[in-house]
Amino acid sequence: MSLTERQARIVRCAREWVAEHGEAPSLRELAAAAGLASASTVSYQLRRLRERGVVVETRGRRGGGARCPYCGR
């Protein structure tokens, strides 16, 4: 299985983040570490990686949690 250059960079940056900080990065932190402009780009690439069997842990809110009824956060 070969990863694209961007996917490999995301995996490498996530591993380096965990080694340095002791916890998984958020999507925004991972985007910044990988030199990407958007957290949504990271989210898209993480979905593609999961399809290939590569799981990259991130921290933050999981879907389905309690959210503010006004702003959705």
Average pLDDT over residues 62-73: 54
With 60 as the cut, is the pLDDT of residue 63 above it?
no
Is 66 a residue whose pLDDT tops 60?
A: no
Tens-place pLDDT, residues 6-57: 999 999 999 999 999 999 999 999 999 999 999 999 999 999 999 999 989 8
Name the amino acid, one letter, at 57. Answer: E
pLDDT recorded at residue 72? 55
Q: How many CA atoms lie within 13 A of 27 on its CB side?
A: 14
**1 pLDDT tier (thresholds 50, 70, 90):** low
Determine the average pLDDT of the residues in 57-66: 66
C-alpha dihedral sign at 25, 10, 43, 53: negative
